[in-house]
Amino acid sequence: MEIQQRHSYRALILSTLAFAACFSVWTLYSILGIEVKEQLALSATEFGLLLAAPIFTGAIFRVPVGLLAERVSCRSLFFWQMLLAVPPLFYLPYVETFTEYILLGFVLGLSGVSFTIGIRYITDWFDTKQQGFALGVFGAGNAGAAITLVLVPFIVDAYSWQAIGPIYGVGMLAMAVIFRLLAPEISKYYQEKKNYELAFHLAPLKDVQVWRFGLYYYFVFGSFLALILWLPQYYMEAYKLSLTQALALTLLFVTSSSMVRAIGGWFADKFGARAVNWSAFWICMVCLFFLSYPPTTMIIHGVNKNVEVSFAVNVWLFTLLIFIIGIAQGIGRASVFKIVYDYYPNHMGSVGGVIAAVGALGGCTLPVMFGLAVDIIGVYSACFMLLYGVLALCMMAMYLALQAERQQKSLKEAIENNFLEQD
């Protein structure tokens, strides 16, 4: 039992580190994109497309990789996925045009499928009562974005922008080798595993609640990812901060939101995942209301004189609200996959892959929509107006879907107990 427990925690630690490394590559454009935007004179919309490129690939490939993770060794899959990111990283210094950055971003985006592999790998090592905590700890690998926020400026100061790709490539190669050598392979699941047909893994995808869980994740992870990519540039343009200051404040958002994820998993185990999710949504809704309000000056025509009233969210209030949103998102992200495990413990690869893909699509679509909103409306806070509206629509859709699910369940129980006659 002790040996099994040691293997379990070794699997958790190594997979979390590997996920952090992959996540740092997946979000590399959040910093590199600032330099590219300046060099190529990109518009806000083009900048959004640049940020979205790696996220897009990581999103769409989560579904097939999730199905693959149900049938092959996740340890081997994780290793080869990390190796796949090495060649494009070494090629990065040779990229010059906007199109080339987009295409390379698509390839680098394959590092984003690591989450789907990891949750399939981790769930095999822990029992039901520990799933929330284990998945929360693994999800803290989101802090890999913090690696990028810290490491990239250091590399630029010590060497140059051209050195970023090769240094990241060496780091990813080292992580892949360490994971391959030290991560345990055989778990109870693989010892007892049956070769289920593809239909078995696809069957739950027809359930409405799977897509409802996807909507949960679209906001708590998609918006988190979009903000990681967007915040450095937002701080620099809206508040005229230096790159160092912008990265420091973004780092606060990333690290706090990532580290609290383990706590979110514990909350989900103790209080129920659904209650945790909805609490997170309402907290974000309140904060986004204030962030959405653009700098405003009103003139009130009084009896004797005009009164000028100004309102603006200063950088410190903005940072506080973003910090609170990050905490709520971190807690929410862990609780989503706890509830997924509660409903589909034998489909964490297939169902988890779909939900992870929907969430990542949020990180892909939202930066583009942020750029369009800023270009069209012409105010920096337009991105938060958009995010407020997205959250409101998601909450409304989730509420209606939940009500429909409850009604169908009640009707089914009534029919089964002969309270109603079935035609």
Residues with Cβ within 8 Å of residue 178, at least 6 apart in sequence: 14, 17
The mean pLDDT value of the chain amounts to 81
Instruction: Identify the architecture of domain 2-187+198-299+307-391 in CATH.
Output: Up-down Bundle (1.20)
Checking if the pLDDT of 57 tops 80, the result is yes
CB count within 10 Å of CB 202 equals 14
pLDDT tens sequence across 138-148: 877 777 888 88
Rounded to an integer, the average pLDDT of 325-352 is 77
pLDDT tens sequence across 17-28: 999 999 899 888
Q: Name the residue ranges covered by the structural domains of the chain.
A: 2-187+198-299+307-391
Question: Does an H or E element contain 158, and which?
Answer: helix 144-158
Which comes out higher in pLDDT, residue 258 or 390?
390
CB count within 10 Å of CB 86 equals 18
Checking if the pLDDT of 121 tops 70, the result is yes
Q: Which long-range contacts (CB under 8 A, 24 or more apart) does 41-46 make?
A: 42/98, 43/371, 43/375, 44/370, 44/371, 44/372, 44/374, 44/375, 45/368, 45/371, 45/372, 45/375, 46/98, 46/371
pLDDT tens sequence across 98-107: 999 999 999 9
Which comes out higher in pLDDT, residue 367 or 5?
367
The answer to which of 38-42, 229-233, 280-284, 343-347 has the lowest mean pLDDT is: 343-347
Q: Are 244 and 153 in contact (CB under 8 A)?
A: yes
Residues with Cβ within 8 Å of residue 379, at least 6 apart in sequence: 294, 295
pLDDT band, very low/low/confident/very high, at 342 (cuts 50, 70, 90): confident
